[in-house]
Structure 1
Amino acid sequence: MLEKSGIFGIDRVKTATLGLALAGLVAGVLLHLFGQPALARSAWIAGTLPALGALLLEIVGSVRRGEVGLDVLAALSMSSALLFGESLAACIVALMYSGGTMLEVLAEGRARREMHDLLSRVPRFALRHRDGQIDRVPLDAVAPGDRLLIPQGDVVPVDGTIQSEGAFLDTSALTGESLPQRMAVGGEALSGATNAGEPFDIIATRRAEESTYAGIVRLVEAAQRSKAPMARLADRWSLGFMLVAVTIAVVAWWATSDPVRAVAVLVIATPCPLILAVPVALVAGLSRAAHFGVLVKGAKALEAMARMHTLVLDKTGTLTDGRPRITGIESAGALTEDALLRLAASLDQVSKHPVAQAIVAAAKARALALATPAEVHESPGEGAEGIVEGRRVRVGGFSYVHAALTAPGTRPEAPGAGAVIVAVDGSPAGHLVMADPLRDGVCATLQGLRREGIARIVLATGDRPEVAARVTAGLGIDAVRAELSPDEKVALVLAEREGGPTMMVGDGVNDAPALAAADIGIAMGARGAAASAEAADVVLLVDRIDPLVAGLTVAREARMIALQSVVAGIGLSVIGMIAAALGYLEPVEGALLQEVIDVAVILNALRALRIAPPQEVRDAS
């Protein structure tokens, strides 16, 4: 990659060639006006040669990489103009080509502005409480468990748990949500959010490199290095376009015996809008999608999103909250509901399992006083056993709990939900009915996805069929596949791909293989499982799927704008070439006309920065 410099970060070579071409053109015009035609031609040639030399070096590099693009046509038009004495036209082409590439750089710079703003906000230091003092420490020195002060206006440096009352956070850089949010004690503060209220403290839960904002920055940097498949397609189309341009030029020369006609044709054919419109429109689309909380890893993925036919959805954490809740308590003995819940929650205080945490949260919501358990032994994924107030309590799945009972019990019926069994002193005491509820607005989101071109929606889950059936009732999902292992999810995605381009949405480590197998993999939340975010092509910056509707809108319209610009630009160029071949345009006039065409397609491509999803989608996001 060529070195960048200057206030706009513009390529030094492009800056120099543009400046020399402009200086040569102006000097030549002045010399011509003062009656020095020979010196004027020399000035125009001098203004052309640097641009031509730089262009030839780019062509050599492209050929070595196995790429042949429209740069060849630009070099051919400059060379032929110099060869046949049209030095003014050659200089205008040099100025036009270097100016066009400069416009592309500036346009992409504008399109990337939101991403650059994201990168520029990366914190470098944190304020850490230590021994009654507040120290300013490098971000790398912050470890989980450190207590940090977040001053007003500062960016939260790492993910953490809020320790102060009424923290006020602006999350617009992460989610596009314009209104700051009031957060309670114990709420999660994501790195990258801005303190919009009074100073507050957090307890760091992740190191800086593992936090939400660091993950977003890495994904943005990867997105900025991408090249769209449409741009590569443009390079392939360039051979056909060059053949058309050269054919028209040769026919015009042969029919009229006038080489200037051929020069005029080649001049107006360069540079083709294919070079400019596609990358500008898609990079603008990347920026616009990020504004709505959809971080696309590159223009390739954005272009592919516009053509998706099938959506495969994981259930837990995608359609549902991924946080189980107690929906019922059934006591099997003398214990009341509150007493049963208090014993189970007292034991589960030692567990980090989501179900155990949900049981503890439910007990605290009822203001139950929890006891401190003793002799606790936890079997990961199965349950826990210990002493609570002198009674032996066992909490977990049916097989785990009943393996230790003095008398066998009956498996409780909990259609569409799960049951946590509670045993006290070796006897069944009851069970807690757990369910993972649907996220708010899921039905409207799925309808929005269908409006954006998704023809088939499939649910893929590892849960039991009855749970999957309950969750999807009334959602209009086309197919439900339950009790799937990670390998079976991959097989499902590959099977769906045979029917059309397929994207997969998931949030867990077990979803990573399926995300990688899909045409487009979408991970829920940049702070989710690292494996799923790494395997995905798109990351939703919030743990909801509704921003995906806006992302699909942006992808589809950005691709359409790119195609419109290409078709219009090529069409105008072909009309101009025919006019030049018929003698209606001189080389200088053709060069000026092509410059107007190039500016027009760039401005049209920048319309992608103003893509706006329907109002109901913005409200939901």
Structure 2
Amino acid sequence: MEPSGTDRLKTVILLLAATGLALGLVLWFADRPDLADLVWIAGVVPALVALVIEILRSLRSGEIGLDIVAALSMSAALVFGETLAAAVVAVMYSGGTFLESFAEGRARREMHDLLSRVPRTATRHRDGGLEEVPLDEIAMGDRLLIRQGDVVPVDGTVASDTAFVDMSALTGESLPVRLARGAEAMSGSTNAGEAFDLTAMREAKDSTYAGIVRLVEEAQASKAPMSRLADRWSLGFLVVTVSIALAAWWFTGDPIRAVAVLVVATPCPLILAVPVALVAGLSRAAHFGVLIKGAGPLETMARIRTLILDKTGTLTDGRPQIVSINSANGMPADDILRFAASLDQASKHPVAQAVVAAAKLRGQALPIPTDVMEMPGEGVKGRVEGREVIVGGDDFVASLVGRGDRGLPGKDVGSVLVAVAIDGQMAGHLVMSDPLREGTSAMLAGLRRQGISRILLATGDRAEVAERVTEGLGLDGLRAGLTPDQKVLLVLTERKHGPVMMVGDGVNDAPALAAADVGVAMGARGAAASAEAADVVLLVDRIDRLGPGIEIARASRRIAMESVVVGIGLSVLGMIAAAYGYLSPVQGALLQEVIDVAVILNALRALRIAPQDVMSANPASRPAAGQDTAQGATP
């Protein structure tokens, strides 16, 4: 992604200020002080003009920032001929704003690579053929072709005999759903089976997905702006600075003392140390697979007290897994799985792919099936090693071979049965469900140790499924069957307990992510809408990265605060010394540089933050020198 015009302007201003300072020093040492003054002034003016424009913008919006102190010190130094001091302040100030811009630009570039394609066209039947049309040209009654893997572009009814769609991004249902002819398919769901025809019920602008996008926009517009740590110190520091400078001038009659006070007071520990610590924190978080979109979200992340979690694809993996294998005629479970997986190699159905993956995970060798015939949404028939095998839904397989003497095995709420028949007899059932991610309980305990006082589950799935999956986690609340706008309402209601973090991965989570103080999206497999609306994206498909992300945010903010307190304390001592005449403006600028170096070195400690939860929970994940622990993360 190309840098914005503002980013380029900040880079140019920094280069001009730094070049002016360096060239002026060369001329000064060459005994050309007149030319040195002109060069220093030329380097300061662009930074000062940009600074004044930014101050006027802030004042119009009712904000008073640290920019005023920097503008006063540069202006006073120029007015009273202290051009070298003005040049030093210009470099320090423009360097700080450049660092902040760099942090935000880095997050934008990484985010650009994360977002997947959102459908903008659809395939429409017209005059016996097919045509690609923009979504806004689709009218009610149009017949559309939804190919395998396509996202349903508009709300409509199924016009084919059957359709198999993945609605997890919209409703939280972790397993694909079979829709019969005439059933409604919602925009934003994904075709998980064979291609089917859809009759448009609504235009794209009135469909489910468009409504969710509008909710995201409304939530982002109503979200309170994140307060920068540096700005919260600005007013008090401005009052102290101006008071000491005026007092020095009033009691001594020497304006140069006031200039020296202002130069020493230029809040470079705030302007430089804070962005350095936060940029270092952003880089360190990315090292562990956590992309934080700028310093503002990182600061807010450090103050989170309430956590709201989605279920499907967040607490759970979002993909069906085999939890048990039940034999109906004494056949070994491994043989049932091997025959089922061998035949399912010929199917692209999500459940079939999960069965194949489970068999390969157990190291089973899978022969190639022959004479394969698939019934979309029902099951698949074929031959494996010369034996006739049928795999599919229990009703489908039972209608062909009967259920056998044992009947149906028991299963938990939210599980599904995959029946397997061999040579005309029911061989057994694979019980599949979407279980909790490994280490979820330990992850939640770690978050509580970090100060998260409330943890809630918010899901669009059924209550009995959510309760069964989260049993024993010790959640502070569970809300099931929620629509996107109800999730937003829950986020807003929970704000009374403190800043709220929302974690989700589906389209239906996007409005709540936008409304939360910090929204976190599962970026590896989550929907583009949720990643777009979120402030934080987990680059790897692991919810346990949330703990290290919060720990890094808090440590970075603590380091920034340490740098600020020490730096401001030293600056106040320098201001007092300047007021008494012990420091000239240039000496004050050099002293401020020494203070800057000290606080920046301290701020850089954020690059070495080692999250304890990651290291203690998984010692094998401890990175060696130069080695990254998160696939796809950028150190």
TM-score under structure 2 normalisation?
0.65
The equivalences for 1:191-210 within 5 A come to none
Distance 1:495 1:604, change over 3 A: same
Aligned twin of 1:355: 351
Give the superposed CA RMSD.
Answer: 4.5
User: How much does 1:472 deviate?
Assistant: 3.1
Cα deviation 1:360-406 (Å, max 9, x = unaligned): 44567665767546653323xxx4476879989683377x8889999
Aligned twin of 2:201: none
Matches of 1:397 and 1:484 in 2, distance apart? 30
Aligned letter for 2:282? Answer: L
User: How much does 1:429 deviate?
Assistant: 7.7
User: How much does 1:58 deviate?
Assistant: 0.8
Aligned letter for 1:548? Answer: L
User: How much does 1:289 deviate?
Assistant: 0.8
Matches of 2:21 and 2:358 in 1, distance apart? 73
User: How much does 1:556 deviate?
Assistant: 0.6
Matches of 2:89 and 2:390 in 1, distance apart? 79
Q: 1:502, 1:519 within 8 Å by CA — same for their partners in 2?
A: yes
Of residues 54, 58, 61 in structure 1, which corresponds to 2:46?
A: 54
Aligned twin of 2:437: 439
Alignment pair present for 1:328 and 2:351: no
Matches of 1:489 and 1:474 in 2, distance apart? 23
Matches of 2:581 and 2:266 in 1, distance apart? 18
The equivalences for 1:52-451 within 5 A come to 52-63=44-55, 65-66=57-58, 69-84=65-80, 87=81, 90-101=82-93, 104=96, 229=226, 231=228, 234-235=230-231, 237-330=233-326, 348-349=344-345, 351-361=347-357, 371-372=369-370, 376-379=374-377, 383-384=378-379, 395-396=392-393, 413-416=410-413, 418-420=415-417, 422=419, 431-451=429-449
Aligned twin of 1:11: 11
Distance 1:565 1:618, change over 3 A: farther
Matches of 2:307 and 2:387 in 1, distance apart? 53
Structure 1 residues without counterparts, runs of 5 or longer: 32-38, 123-227
Distance 1:116 1:69, change over 3 A: closer
Matches of 2:529 and 2:451 in 1, distance apart? 28
Distance 1:114 1:519, change over 3 A: closer
Aligned letter for 2:411? Answer: A
The number of residues matched between the two structures is 495
Q: 2:260, 2:575 within 8 Å by CA — same for their partners in 1?
A: yes
Alignment pair present for 1:21 and 2:18: no
Of residues 471, 495, 498 in structure 2, which corresponds to 1:497?
A: 495
Matches of 1:536 and 1:114 in 2, distance apart? 16
Cα deviation 1:76-132 (Å, max 9, x = unaligned): 334434544xx3xx133123213424654897799899989989x99xxxxxxxxxx
User: How much does 1:411 deviate?
Assistant: 7.0
Matches of 2:107 and 2:294 in 1, distance apart? 12
User: How much does 1:286 deviate?
Assistant: 0.8
Q: 1:264, 1:587 within 8 Å by CA — same for their partners in 2?
A: yes
The percent identity for this pair of structures is: 55
Cα deviation 1:252-284 (Å, max 9, x = unaligned): 322233333322222222254322222222111
Aligned twin of 1:506: 504
Q: 2:342, 2:369 within 8 Å by CA — same for their partners in 1?
A: yes
Matches of 1:79 and 1:335 in 2, distance apart? 88
User: How much does 1:447 deviate?
Assistant: 2.3
Structure 2 residues without counterparts, runs of 5 or longer: 115-224, 622-628, 630-635
Matches of 1:82 and 1:334 in 2, distance apart? 93
Distance 1:314 1:30, change over 3 A: same
Matches of 2:327 and 2:105 in 1, distance apart? 59
Aligned twin of 2:593: 595
SS in 1 for 2:410: coil
TM-score under structure 1 normalisation?
0.66
Distance 1:478 1:24, change over 3 A: same
Aligned letter for 2:83? Answer: C
SS in 2 for 1:546: helix
Q: Which piece of structure 1 moves more, 383-392 or 264-273?
A: 383-392
Aligned letter for 1:357? Answer: Q
Matches of 1:312 and 1:504 in 2, distance apart? 5
Distance 1:490 1:422, change over 3 A: farther
Distance 1:463 1:397, change over 3 A: farther
Matches of 2:490 and 2:565 in 1, distance apart? 38
Distance 1:275 1:406, change over 3 A: same
Q: Which piece of structure 1 moves more, 261-270 or 98-107?
A: 98-107
Matches of 1:10 and 1:66 in 2, distance apart? 17
SS in 1 for 2:526: coil
Aligned letter for 2:46? Answer: A
Aligned twin of 2:616: 616
SS in 2 for 1:415: coil
